[in-house]
Structure 1
Amino acid sequence: MEVRPRHRYKDIRISGGAKAHLGDTYHLGLDDPLRRLPYAVEAPFNSYHRQHEPTCLPETRVDVLREIYDWANGEDERCIFWLSGMAVTGKSTIARTFSREYFERGSIGASFFFSRGDGDISHAGKFVASIAVQLASSVPTLQRSICDAVSKDNNIATKGLRDQWNELIFRPLSQLNASSVPSSFIIVIDALDECEGENDIRSILQLLAEAHSLGTVRLRVFLTSRPETPVRLGFRAMPGIIHHDLVLYHVPRTSVDHDIATFFRAKFREMRDEFEDLPANWPGDDKVERLVQRADGVFIYAATVCRFIKGDGQWLPQDLLDLVLLGAGSSQLPEWERNVPSKSPTWELDGIYTQILQRSFDKIQGGRDKDRLSQTLKQVIGSLAILAEPLPAANLANLLQIRPEVVNLRVWHLQSVLNVPQNPHHPVWLLHPSFRDFLLDEQRCHDQSFWVEEKQAHRTLMESCIRLMSSSLKQDICGVDGPGALVTGIDNSRIAQCLPLEVQYACLYWIQHLHKSGVQLCDNDQVHQFLKEHFLHWLEVLCWLGKLSKGIYAITLLESIALTSDCPDLYAFIHDMKRFALYSRVGIEHAPLQIYCSALIFAPTMSIVKGWFEHQIPRWMQRLPEVEMHWNALLQTLEGHSESVNAVAFSLDGKMLASASYDKTVKLWDAGTGAALQTLNGHSNLVMAVAFSLDGKLLASASMDKTVKLWDANTGAALRTLNGHSGTVNAVAFSPDDKVLASSSDDKTVKLWDAGTGAALRTLHGHLHRLNAVAFSPDGKLLASASHDMMVKLWDARTGVVLQTLCGHRGWVNAVAFSPDGKVLASSSDDKTVKLWDASTGAVLQTLNGHSYSVMAVAFSPDGKVLVSASIDRTVKLWAARTGVALQTLYGHSGWVMAVAFSPDGKVLASSSGDKTVKLWDAGTGAALQTLMGHWDAVKALAFSPDGKLLASASRDETVKLWDASTGALLQTLKGHSYRVKAVAFSPDGKVLASSSDDKTVKLWDAGTGTALQTLKGHWDAVKALAFSPDGKVLASASADKTVKLWDASTGAVLQTLKGHSGAVTAVAFSLGGKLLVSASRDERVKVWSADRGAALQTLKVHPDRVRAVAFSPDGKVLASSSDDKTVRLWDARTGAVLQTLDVDAVCKSLSFSDDGTFLESDRGMLLTSSHSLGEVYSGRGLSRDIFIKDQWVTRGMEDILWLPSEVRPCCAAVYGSVVALGNGSGRLSILEFTF
């Protein structure tokens, strides 16, 4: 029989060296890496919650079990046994029987029983980890390998199913020594069709199928499910015949009836033992036979009838049995039941359910108000029928605002159809889905007292959820009291204490119930009022629960509901909520209280959410940075790659986004929420390109390792590796029919491959240099290729014959793309242009000018009306494809933009960049980024004047700007340099500003008027750094020409040229008295010089990375240096010994000691050198005295207080007291002021 449970097992704690037995799983000790894996405790067949679930009685299901046992024991090479059958056919009971049998034989490695809507066992989130934990317990020799995998990557359980399976299951199994372990293991998976997410179901099947390839051990998988489409398609997609099918409804009816009769007799025997007054021959063969006929092959009917007849002691079993056996039309039945025809296949089952409900209602009436009792009963059972996941009775009572004792009474009398656990902290759940179907179907549930009108039930639950959230939610609901507190830093028990299950449920599912209720929204209704009061609080809860992605999908659903309702104000609010959540996602999902800090602070001025909740911004923010007026085209930024992102592509359905990176990986993202789905590892070098097949099943990636890899786009499984190129593969493209894959390479060739088999079809020769891009025409007849030889070639895709060579670019051609109708070909080049060509004649139609550097990528919108281009100039440009008119320029990346792609519906544009991010843009709003304070190219240096009143910024745009530090107003733009400006420095009296540039010059400016005073020439390469002597009379400049020059600051005369470094000099500083000078170089040396004589006094070998800044202590005995390794080191200036190493989590580009030598002032803030004397060697984290700017955070002391979005994250910074200036690679300049 199949009676599927729904449980949750909460907050297990194992202290000291204790051993806990969870199902068939052991956890040992506090330091056991297995404890770090998320484990679904109710998943194993023998978990505590499943202990009362039945197995097949002796002499039942004999034929089915014999076939399964023969497969398990035999030599059948098919590694998966799929037992399929419709609902209520007993699949789970068979699975429990099989599991118990082979558990006792010592052959069960792990089991996972899925259950729809039942928390951890309703989805695949903990599937692999739970199997791994059980295997580690069942097979001790596996434990070390699995523990090693967890220790190697603490976040392994957050990766995609493919990565988890490879590291936690497949690799450990493949490393087993066959002589030291049992010859075979069995994994049992029940009700796979009840796993949420069709893609996850297919992924699980793909992973399980790999058991076939294990060489050292034999892994068998016994799997049950309904014959649902995802499961059937998953098996169909598997190569070869690797599974054994057994369909339960093909089992002879006589065999099924025999098993049901055996079940009835066994249950009646138990009742006779329990009820002494029952006759020894009760109820007799005739009644058993009649029950078998009524069961009609449905095991759940038999199980439900037996529970009903056994009752709760208030009714005699004989009377209840006679009630069950009363036929349709009997005068003893209620009138409604006598008049209903008994032709429905569920008639008998429906009758039993009705009797159970009526009896429970009669028990609790007690003469009280019938209508009120009926309504309460319906509310309870109606809620149980539609809950998205089960709740304990007390939590359900709190959600419905019904007294707990009332709910307990209602469910207690329904134990024939409900599982009511003795432990009040465990959830109540329906014993079988058929009871839910009965309650919600008016044609089956004929008694209106019990029929649950589904939409009304959802509305009731929705209103209950909103009511509960309104009374429970508040800021900092978990009481962490720190704006930078991380989700990973809060214990699960704290979350459970502060967020009871009913509150968690309400937050997760209120919009789902709203949607299913069919309620029409309107302005200022209860939904609108709730959001205006508690939106941020709700978002905070989702972040603590790790469910922000689910929340974003819920907001999208809510937006769609509002769109079809008459509620313009509410719709605008919801749309703004979505933009707010997407934009701030990266920060708030890790540090939820940044909702009230970073998310509000950096939201646009006119954001509805910001306007409504601005009062919740912390009071320690005295001055907010300048932000856009409205939401611009940037939807969100995806972070996760550790190196430049070279390529990006959408799947055909637009739900998935793939990115390829120099970090040797391909990442798959949820395009709707920005959540990272999987990381595909396999390439041994940089990944250059990525492309989806048009049917969405395959993903191709190209790499510097000279290979192309094909992956299953749904599971992330590596399918095959295509070898043949002799150089870096730079591009891949599928033909429109997905039969052919084209790749282009540094080896000057294009190769065509059979996409199904991986066989090489043809190699196209003709280009004179490396190839950068390849693209098929929409009809698949043409193939275009782009090369360093400055040419585009058009090939016959079938024959490989060159049809045309398009010449016209004056630089490398980096990309090509066909318009959707195939009539136009676009190409982009290092010559800073995009060209449009007639694809049939090869004539140049237009040349699009506008980018200031190489154009790396080009793409058409799906409707062909818009062309998009990406450039090294850090911008994305949109053009009218027909006229060539520039429509929009998107700013935001702080590195080269390497690739662009439209979503299939044309609404979203993705761009990838050297700044290690992927950005998603709204392609349809036409909302350009507003001009903010800053430069139009990267800010390279910042400096406050000595009195803090002025701020100078230097940029790649060849200008220096002077700002009023107190207001942010632009005072002057200093023009004169002819190339990137790298450094700025104020004279000690603040009257003169010096700037240096890649144009090899230093310029002196009047800081008050902006007048150019002098241009100092003499270096023959870029000038990297500047420093004034303490008296302001001498200016030192450090250059890539390996020298330091000392200049007379008043006359501009060269005083000395200091030579000795063998690499570019990157930093320079004077001692307090001005007698000594220190310089640092890329030769990894620091030199100390006599400022008067120019003589080198000492040479120190310091950081292994580039040194960015140097400084003398006031007494000249200590040197400080900062490096790209994000450390600051203190050295004995005489001996060169390291005194301290401070880990600062940022690259400091300027350093100077405080007057007493106890602090270091840097461009990122103040650093405490140590409580140790400087004569002692000490390593540790550099403590900020007040404000300090790390790469992603503004900190105070050791506390993170403000997360910085990538759009404002500094490549340079400056701090003066409580004022912070941040210069971004995009050119944006942000000034913030704090109260401390």
Structure 2
Amino acid sequence: MRTAAVVKSSAPSDCEVSAQVSAASIDFSRASFVIESESTQQTPAATSSSAPRLPIAPATSLIDIETSDYADSATARLPIRLWDRAYNDLKQEEAELVDAYEKILSRQLEDGPGSAVPESQKNTIAQDNSDAGRHQMTRLVHAGLDKIESEAKVKESFGVAVDVVLSARNIISSAAQAVPQAAFAWTGIYIALEMLANPITATEANREGIDYVVKRMDWYWKLSTTLLKQSAGHGSELAGVRRELENQFVNLYKALLLYQIKSVYSYYRNRGLVFLRDIVKLDDWSGDLNAIQDAENVFHQDSKAYVAQQTNSYLERLVRNQMSENDQQCVRDLRLTDPRDDKIRIEQTKGGLLRSSFHWIFDNPEFQRWRDCVGSSLLWIKGGPGKGKTMLLCGIIDELEQSIVVSGQNHNLAYFFCQATDSRIRSATSVLRGLIYLLVRQQPSLLSHLRKKYDDAGETLFEDVNTWVVLSDIFEKMLGDQDLKPTYLIIDALDECVDDLPKLLELIVRISSKRVKWLLSSRNEPHIERKLKCDEKHTRLNLELKENAEQVSRAIDAFIDKKLSKLELLQNDTLLKNQVRDILHEKANGTFLWVALVIQELHKEEVESWHVSQIVKELPPDLDGMYDRMLNNIRRHERDLELCWRILSTATAAYRPLYLVEVGALSGLPEEVLKSVENVKSIVAKCGSFLTIQDDQLYLIHQSAKEYLSKRASNLLFPCGVEMTHHGILIRSLELMSGKLRRDMYDLGAPGFPIEKVRTQDSGLLATMRYSCIYWVDHLCDIVSGTDIERTDHLQDNRVVHTFLKTKYLYWLEALSLLRAMSEGVIAIGQLKGLLGPNDGKQLADLVRDAHRFALSYKWIIEHAPLQAYVSALVFAPASSLIRACFGTEIPDWISTKPVVEETWNACVQTLEGHSDFIQSVAFSPDGQRLASGSGDRTIKIWGYRLG
């Protein structure tokens, strides 16, 4: 299943809130399960009902579950069945341990709690009758709890602190009274509580561990009932995922049970129990707790995947019921990227979301003010590179989603992650498209504001020069809608919004509503601060201020501890692990990214355990110093050094993360390397830690890495200027396309084969050309913007660009259709048209103008049926069309009678797209600037119209 987050409680006081995920209560697009600190469950100050705030989960006891969810007997017995499975599995896997444990329990049943256990003790726990066994356990729990309570009160009267014992006792008592069958799971805990109350026999680590285990058992008992409850309509489609999640519950329960069993052993070993003496190592309480948290990690990942699938299944039916086919097409055209997928990818690329790295934010006064107060509409979290801002926002999003589900409140949550290294998600327009996309997915009624414009313009609404103007107006109308639900809008990394950031900031400041709360993050950029105008409504949270920096530092310490616990080299050397941890704590300087780079260094195959201490001592305590070291390490690969520079320079100059099959060809690697993707991976592995691979796609580890490579390392990567790298990418792109583009690349056969039936191929002809097809013109623009006049020679007649368009243009359009990128192609050829000047080739300029008209006129038909590029488009192109002349031989022979066509392109710049039936009438506005079209599909569309 898809990994999304790590669940860990960093303190023994952490507890969980119950999640209610029935389909009827879900009103968001993705769900996740996170731990909520007790401090976040306090009743907040009264606020306006219209103000969106982080909903607080209701306190749910086992009695609540018994009187509601337990109406369904199958659901009622589910947690019992799971705990029974876990206990029975342990009896098989740890037979000697469980038998000894049951002998202890047998003695307690005979002589009462606290009785000494002789070596001759027999196991009298019912083995073949689970109901009888539970009855025995119930008796034992109640007797033990009465004893502990009386002892605790006596100790308390003498000033002995027993809060932990009484707190845990209340949880067990509640469970035993509400659901007597739960006694099997809780039996060993009361014995461990007696140990907890005795500071002589209990170590601090075990004391904290037992407190943690008690609360986790209570949480997971409740959660299994609500999470795995069978919802109507989800039966068969989620059955397999549900079974897998049940298995993860069982594995988690086994880890919890094993901890309590070992704790009981420890207690009785201290009382002199002979036969338990050598059964198990009892003093690694921290290691045992880590095993529980690892099991929680796996469970949490799978639960997120399950809830996401359950939620999406529900939402898809809901949206289908509320949206017409035209509505759904509008949403499909709007979608440039799904921010939910970007979030998952980012979390996976960064190694998973660790709760201890972000949970401190929920106790921060500035965050609480933003969340709870009506007058606080914007919070800007700022900090330097590598401070964990992105993962902090990921954690906040998870917490908001979880709390919305648990409370059942009706809120919207839309978010967007900007990344300067990816052209799809680094513009203000992209941000709006992403936010609007999530808003209409959650509240379909808002789509009416978008449809008003979309019905006029079709998908060109999202592509032309006026897109920002139109979308910002639509966005403001959506947020001003009287029926808008309270809404959270979150944007990460504003400083990585490369295109039109000032416009986005102005829009954010302009939108002020009691129902809308903004959460933003960025580096410490003065121009962003000036625009946001922080005041009583707009709050800033500086991660580098002392009080916040201390919290970040503690979060980084927990991050270090978790990463070192997974480092195999240190597992058998506690002293070395502690030394390394102390050095990293001292040198981290509040930077998560620095720690991640160090851990990557220690994970390298050539690093041995005796190298570790020296490596961490030598590491520079800042990012630039780390990058310098990484660059020097690359220089050690003398034979492959040039190949490393090629890959790094290409990855740095590219407009989006490259696939492995793309980067090899675009970097100009030798043929012997390109024979295998594994060869390319080997070269990438030698590029230090600058690059990371996720799903066969190559990512720069951080924006700061790109900045370092572009500036401080530019003399190595771009010795002749970055334009030369763009030039190399352009030439290799054109060579690649010229060599491989051909007619009917997917062997569709039929000219009318619809694009929706074409399966996207991850391998084959287009796999290596995906990037080239979409971005070659962008790299040409980068060359022309440089200072080397010689390179603009490409824009002369009969040179490489002219030759490509004359021989491959139509095949390129087919490829764009197959890649679902016709819109990008039309924009690219428009860019090329605008790039040409009076000193460039006249024949090239004429061909580009003709190609642009051809693309505009036949975009719709080629986009929906790729092979129509050779039929409808060519056949109906004007007789004097240069593209028709270049590709006339592609017109099918079976068209024996050619239609009479116009001699030249007419005044119509683009076809009337979007009607689902024939156009029956058209009418012009009096000023000649607008055109109305009426269709048999009973719709009327208004079009912008321009003469000449």
Q: Tell me the TM-score normalised to structure 2 length.
A: 0.52
* Cα contact 1:81–1:223 (8 A) shared by 2: yes
Equivalent residue number for residue 409 of structure 1: 682
**Cα distance between partner residues in 2 of 1:477 and 1:898:** 47
| Residue identity in the other structure for 1:504 | R
1:245 aligned residue (529, 537, 540): 540
Aligned residues: 600
Deviation readout 1:157-215 (Å, 9 max, x if unpaired): 967657986999986x9377xxxxxxx764543224545753897399559946x354x
Equivalent residue number for residue 312 of structure 2: 27
- 1:437 Cα deviation from its structure 2 partner: 1.9
Change over 3 Å in CA distance of 1:113–1:30 after alignment to 2: closer
Equivalent residue number for residue 311 of structure 1: 603
| Residue identity in the other structure for 2:888 | E
1:1015-1054 residue pairs with structure 2 within 5 A?
A: none
Matched, 1:467 2:759: no
Secondary structure of the equivalent of 1:223? strand
**Cα distance between partner residues in 2 of 1:529 and 1:575:** 15
| Residue identity in the other structure for 2:926 | M
**Cα distance between partner residues in 2 of 1:27 and 1:253:** 37
**Cα distance between partner residues in 1 of 2:235 and 2:891:** 41
* Cα contact 2:567–2:603 (8 A) shared by 1: no
Change over 3 Å in CA distance of 1:280–1:117 after alignment to 2: closer
Bigger RCO of structures 1 and 2 (CA < 8 A, at least 6 apart): 2
Matched, 1:427 2:724: no
Change over 3 Å in CA distance of 1:59–1:915 after alignment to 2: closer
- 1:457 Cα deviation from its structure 2 partner: 2.2
Secondary structure of the equivalent of 1:77? coil
Equivalent residue number for residue 438 of structure 2: 131
Matched, 1:92 2:390: yes
Secondary structure of the equivalent of 1:32? helix
Matched, 1:114 2:418: yes
Matched, 1:912 2:927: no
**Cα distance between partner residues in 2 of 1:60 and 1:27:** 26
Equivalent residue number for residue 557 of structure 2: 262
Equivalent residue number for residue 189 of structure 1: 491
Equivalent residue number for residue 77 of structure 1: 375
Matched, 1:418 2:716: no
| Residue identity in the other structure for 1:376 | L
- 1:411 Cα deviation from its structure 2 partner: 2.4
Equivalent residue number for residue 503 of structure 1: 769
Equivalent residue number for residue 653 of structure 2: 386
* Cα contact 2:753–2:866 (8 A) shared by 1: yes
Please tell me the root mean square deviation across aligned C-alpha atoms, in Å: 5.3
The structure in which a higher percent of residues are helix is 2
| Residue identity in the other structure for 1:456 | M
Deviation readout 1:62-121 (Å, 9 max, x if unpaired): 579603441254224223322234544432132133334444544696444333444765
- 1:509 Cα deviation from its structure 2 partner: 0.6
Equivalent residue number for residue 846 of structure 2: 572
Change over 3 Å in CA distance of 1:44–1:914 after alignment to 2: closer
**Cα distance between partner residues in 2 of 1:399 and 1:270:** 40
* Cα contact 1:33–1:147 (8 A) shared by 2: no
- 1:577 Cα deviation from its structure 2 partner: 1.7
Change over 3 Å in CA distance of 1:354–1:23 after alignment to 2: farther
Change over 3 Å in CA distance of 1:429–1:321 after alignment to 2: farther
Equivalent residue number for residue 222 of structure 1: 519
* Cα contact 1:89–1:299 (8 A) shared by 2: yes
Secondary structure of the equivalent of 2:519? strand
Secondary structure of the equivalent of 1:416? coil
Larger deviation, residues 275-284 vs 572-581: 275-284
Equivalent residue number for residue 40 of structure 2: none
Secondary structure of the equivalent of 1:27? helix
| Residue identity in the other structure for 1:28 | S
1:308-457 residue pairs with structure 2 within 5 A?
A: 308=601, 310-316=602-608, 319=611, 322=614, 348-360=622-634, 362=636, 365=637, 370-371=638-639, 373-397=640-664, 400=667, 402-403=674-675, 404-414=677-687, 416-421=689-694, 425-441=695-711, 443-444=712-713, 448=716, 453-457=721-725
Change over 3 Å in CA distance of 1:327–1:27 after alignment to 2: closer
1:554-953 residue pairs with structure 2 within 5 A?
A: 554-563=828-837, 566-631=840-905, 635-636=909-910, 895-896=923-924, 898-900=926-928, 911-913=929-931
**Cα distance between partner residues in 2 of 1:584 and 1:637:** 7
- 1:426 Cα deviation from its structure 2 partner: 4.1
Deviation readout 1:684-703 (Å, 9 max, x if unpaired): xxxxxxxxxxxxxxxxxxxx
Give unpaired runs (5+ residues) of structure 1: 6-13, 136-141, 177-183, 329-346, 646-662, 664-892, 901-910, 917-1124, 1127-1144, 1147-1190, 1193-1204, 1208-1225, 1227-1236
Matched, 1:202 2:504: yes
2:365 aligned residue (63, 67, 87): 67
Change over 3 Å in CA distance of 1:243–1:408 after alignment to 2: same
Secondary structure of the equivalent of 1:305? helix
Change over 3 Å in CA distance of 1:594–1:208 after alignment to 2: farther
| Residue identity in the other structure for 1:50 | E
* Cα contact 1:477–1:498 (8 A) shared by 2: no
| Residue identity in the other structure for 1:113 | F
**Cα distance between partner residues in 1 of 2:554 and 2:845:** 58
- 1:152 Cα deviation from its structure 2 partner: 13
- 1:325 Cα deviation from its structure 2 partner: 5.3
**Cα distance between partner residues in 2 of 1:450 and 1:456:** 7
Secondary structure of the equivalent of 1:502? coil
- 1:617 Cα deviation from its structure 2 partner: 2.1
* Cα contact 1:555–1:578 (8 A) shared by 2: yes
| Residue identity in the other structure for 1:131 | L
Change over 3 Å in CA distance of 1:557–1:312 after alignment to 2: same
Change over 3 Å in CA distance of 1:193–1:34 after alignment to 2: farther
Matched, 1:43 2:340: yes
Secondary structure of the equivalent of 2:539? strand
- 1:500 Cα deviation from its structure 2 partner: 4.2
- 1:470 Cα deviation from its structure 2 partner: 2.1
Change over 3 Å in CA distance of 1:463–1:407 after alignment to 2: same
Change over 3 Å in CA distance of 1:167–1:64 after alignment to 2: closer
Secondary structure of the equivalent of 1:601? helix
1:1036-1185 residue pairs with structure 2 within 5 A?
A: none
* Cα contact 1:120–1:126 (8 A) shared by 2: no
- 1:226 Cα deviation from its structure 2 partner: 4.3
Equivalent residue number for residue 186 of structure 2: none
The structure in which a higher percent of residues are strand is 1
**Cα distance between partner residues in 2 of 1:385 and 1:118:** 11
| Residue identity in the other structure for 1:458 | H
**Cα distance between partner residues in 1 of 2:760 and 2:352:** 36
- 1:432 Cα deviation from its structure 2 partner: 0.2
**Cα distance between partner residues in 2 of 1:1206 and 1:616:** 33
Change over 3 Å in CA distance of 1:602–1:547 after alignment to 2: same
- 1:913 Cα deviation from its structure 2 partner: 4.0
Change over 3 Å in CA distance of 1:439–1:196 after alignment to 2: closer
**Cα distance between partner residues in 1 of 2:641 and 2:384:** 33
Deviation readout 1:651-671 (Å, 9 max, x if unpaired): xxxxxxxxxxxx9xxxxxxxx
- 1:614 Cα deviation from its structure 2 partner: 1.6
Change over 3 Å in CA distance of 1:207–1:287 after alignment to 2: closer
Change over 3 Å in CA distance of 1:243–1:626 after alignment to 2: same
- 1:16 Cα deviation from its structure 2 partner: 7.4
**Cα distance between partner residues in 1 of 2:366 and 2:772:** 43
* Cα contact 2:816–2:822 (8 A) shared by 1: yes
2:483 aligned residue (174, 180, 183): 174
